Amino acid sequence: MTSKPPYQTITEAEPASFSPAGPLTGRVTVPGDKSISHRSLILSALAIGKSEISGLLEGEDVLATAAALRAMGATIDKNGDTWTVHGVGVGGLMPPETALDMGNSGTSVRLLMGLVASHDISATFTGDASLSKRPMGRVIDPLSLMGAEFTARTSSDGKACLPLTVRGLCPAIPMEYRLPVASAQVKSAILLAGLNTPGITRVIEPVPTRDHSETMLKGFGADISVETDKDGNRIISLVGEAELTPQIITVPGDPSSAAFPVVAALLVPGSDIIVENVGINPTRAGLFTILQQMGGDISFENQRTVGGEPVADIHVKHSKLNGITVAADIAPSMIDEFPILFIAAALADGETITNGLSELRVKESDRLSQMAQGLALLGVDVTEKEDGLAITGSGGKLLNGNADIISIQTALDHRIAMSFAIAGLVTDSGLSIDDITPVQTSFPGFESLMTELAS
Ligand code: S3P
């Protein structure tokens, strides 16, 4: 059956233009890590008692998770800069009375599907036009093996999509599952379902993805172990039914958000900035490694551990960049950073080649296609392949802009919007994007932070 989603979040598009500015100087902090923020709320909601979270990302995606958890019984409040969560305990979620609107957030819907899958409740998930196009089969398949039942809309190309309803099974069936796609969201959905499932739930990851769920589950007291076998597979085993202990959590700054000022400083001549308190977990920091290999002057100062996560102040100076071939196996550690890498590549000297990125076609937008279209409008030599882009950079020469004529389509994708906002700084006469509002999903304050660095 193909039908229009009955519920959609309607926000009016707000065009914005970005022009050459800089040099960029000063010290800034970026908002809290999106992945860790979602998990902080979810695990706190499953602990019995009061958890406290500071540094939580107050972006729309994370607020969607908070609203859904409230609708399922958790008490979540903000006091000053600290969020408090009174959890219901593993197994204690209540059925939500209305559909849960996940807005633009794939992480919210996929992780919460896992949570509901092993509770004796049903929940319906809806989302905006972007989220409603994204594939949910990758989560439905493993959670069905655990016994949950799903009714989902089928898209015109035959994919299971939102709106969908999950009917959880309690007790669910423990299982071993080998991830067919490198996805931290799928891994996390299964582990969250495993919390309320008696026995061992095991996820095998042939390619490592961000490991925040494993680290945080351990921190909350779950019986979870991670081994790597001789073939390099990560084997994650979780014993249910788990009892989680409330925690005091400090969320570090998001490396995926820091990526934008970092690339901007590399590209704009004369820049010298520090982005403070950024998470540099190796499962997330691939972009910084690649930029260093391209010749970027990036150093990690004041390295420390915050809440079990490695954190540093990132010092970046304007640099001449060289094109690079990005090995496909580094992709999971920078999966959200390819749009901004493509902007860096557009200014580099020589060719940048990327492969193995078909996952980018099912993010908030088809990021290969959106980036290729936008770069072509700026006169960049770009070739779109099935699983990557090849870009021949300008060698530092400004891109062809015209803020009055060039309007980049952002397709409800925050990272496309921010990537082209940064590109605007290195055009000859600016550019416009059709909609800046999606930035609110992950990086509230993005525009003022960039203005602060440029003044
Ligand atoms: C995320 C995992 C990644 C990433 C997303 C956040 C997470 O998605 O793109 O922004 O918090 O687990 P996939 O699991 O689809 O790779």
CA–centroid distance, 338 to ligand 1, in Å, is: 13
- What one-letter code names the amino acid at 161? C
Instruction: Return the best residue to mutate from 33, 34, 35 for the ligand 1 pocket (most ligand atoms within 8 A of CB).
Output: 35
- How would you write the pLDDT of the chain (455 residues) with one tens digit per residue? 334 444 444 578 999 999 998 899 999 999 999 999 999 999 999 999 999 999 999 999 999 999 999 999 999 999 999 999 999 999 999 999 999 999 999 999 999 999 999 999 999 999 999 999 999 999 999 999 999 999 999 999 999 999 999 999 999 999 999 999 999 999 999 999 999 999 999 999 999 999 999 999 999 999 999 999 999 999 999 999 999 999 999 999 999 999 999 999 999 999 999 999 999 999 999 999 999 999 999 999 999 999 889 999 999 999 999 999 999 999 999 999 999 999 999 999 999 999 999 999 999 999 999 999 999 999 999 999 999 999 999 999 999 999 999 999 999 999 999 999 999 999 999 999 999 999 999 999 999 999 999 99
CA–centroid distance, 413 to ligand 1, in Å, is: 14
Q: Which residues are catalytic?
A: 336
Atom index in ligand 1 nearest the CA of residue 183 equals: 14
Question: Phi/psi at 341 (nearest 5 deg)?
Answer: -60, -40
Beta-carbon count within 10 A of 245 CB: 13
Domain limits, the chain? 7-32+252-454, 35-250
Evaluate whether 166 touches 117 at the Cβ level (below 8 Å): yes
- Residue nearest atom 5 in ligand 1 by C-alpha distance: 107
Q: What residue spans of 364-424 are helical by DSSP H?
A: 367-377, 414-424
Beta bridge partners, 276, equal 29
Q: What is the pTM of this model?
A: 0.97
Tell me the pairing of strands 149-154 and 122-126.
unpaired
Instruction: Return the beta strands (E) in 168-308 as ranges.
Output: 176-178, 199-205, 223-228, 234-240, 248-250, 272-279, 297-306
**Cα(277)–Cα(54) distance, integer angstroms:** 13
CB of 188 shorter than 6 A to ligand 1 = yes
Question: Phi/psi at 172 (nearest 5 deg)?
Answer: -80, 175
CATH code: domain 7-32+252-454 is: 3.65.10.10
**Cα(173)–Cα(199) distance, integer angstroms:** 8
- Residue nearest atom 13 in ligand 1 by C-alpha distance: 183
- Residue nearest atom 16 in ligand 1 by C-alpha distance: 183
Instruction: Return the best residue to mutate from 104, 185, 413 for the ligand 1 pocket (most ligand atoms within 8 A of CB).
Output: 185
- What one-letter code names the amino acid at 102? M
Evaluate whether 357 touches 309 at the Cβ level (below 8 Å): no
Q: Is 273 exposed, middle or buried (0-12, 13-18, 19+ CB in 10 A)?
A: buried
Domains 7-32+252-454 and 35-250 share a fold: yes
CA–centroid distance, 334 to ligand 1, in Å, is: 10
- Determine whether domain 35-250 maps to CATH 3.65.10.10: yes
